[in-house]
Amino acid sequence: MTSIKIDEMADMIKEKEKELFELKKEYRERRTEGLRHAIEQKKEAEKLVRDEMKALGYDYGSTVRYWL
């Protein structure tokens, strides 16, 4: 290990930090993948409800408070 120069060590550390950053990013994305999917499905369902209420002649913005 003594044959490695300080500059080489610094480069190795930077490369490992970069790898660690990418792994952390991938970990966060995988960990929250289900939540992101559920939120997207919720948005789609809310849009369908708005569209259906509009088709029935209701103003979604004024009626949503009565559902809560």
Which pTM was predicted?
A: 0.54
**44 lies in which domain range?**
35-68
* Number of domains composing the chain: 2
Asked whether residue 47 falls in the same domain as residue 61, the answer is yes
The pLDDT confidence band at residue 1, using thresholds 50, 70 and 90, is low
Rounded CA separation 63/61 (Å): 6
Rounded CA separation 19/33 (Å): 21
pLDDT at 68 over 90: no
pLDDT (tens digit, 9 = 90+) per residue, 43-62? Answer: 999 999 989 988 988 876 65
What is the DSSP-derived secondary structure letter of residue 4? Answer: S
Burial of 40-63, coded b for 16+ CB within 10 Å and e otherwise, reads eeeeeeeeeeeeeeeeeeeeeeee
pLDDT (tens digit, 9 = 90+) per residue, 20-41? Answer: 999 999 999 999 999 999 999 9
Supply the pLDDT for residue 60.
60
Asked whether residue 46 falls in the same domain as residue 26, the answer is no
Residue type at 17 in one-letter notation: E
